[in-house]
Amino acid sequence: AQSVTQPDIHITVSEGASLELRCNYSYGATPYLFWYVQSPGQGLQLLLKYFSGDTLVQGIKGFEAEFKRSQSSFNLRKPSVHWSDAAEYFCAVGVYSGYSTLTFGKGTMLLVSP
């Protein structure tokens, strides 16, 4: 069965600094990978996705992620963090066997300091 590990429960970054959130997955085939963001009291908003092709994918709000098959990783990055980026970030792997399900990591809470 597939699984997703987000090793960092909390991360604090200064505003304007760069950000990298880690995600490792376990799945037997080429995965479909996603990053979602959840602001307090809100639902899950899709930041970006990887299905195939270019391993560096661009998303909304200036985020990008790189798929590294050799490391089973799909880390999320942003070159300069804004206070409004404070939220919880979830990495997910999709299993498409005719019907899709998402398996989520436990999430990383991003705190942005002034």
By CB under 8 A, name the binding residues for another protein.
32, 34, 36, 41-46, 49, 51, 90, 92, 94, 96, 98-107
Beta-carbon contacts of 26 under 8 Å, excluding residues fewer than 6 positions away, are: 2, 3, 4, 5, 72
The smaller minimum CB distance to another protein, of residues 49 and 77, is found at 49
The smaller minimum CB distance to another protein, of residues 1 and 70, is found at 1
Beta-carbon contacts of 24 under 8 Å, excluding residues fewer than 6 positions away, are: 4, 5, 7, 71, 72, 73, 74
The smaller minimum CB distance to another protein, of residues 11 and 102, is found at 102
Q: How far is the CB of 55 from another protein (least distance, A)?
A: 18
Q: How far is the CB of 36 from another protein (least distance, A)?
A: 7
Longest Cα–Cα distance in the chain = 46
Distance CA 41, CA 13 (A): 22
The smaller minimum CB distance to another protein, of residues 51 and 83, is found at 51
Distance CA 61, CA 48 (A): 10
Q: How far is the CB of 25 from another protein (least distance, A)?
A: 13
Tokens 């490792």 found at: 24
Q: How far is the CB of 18 from another protein (least distance, A)?
A: 26
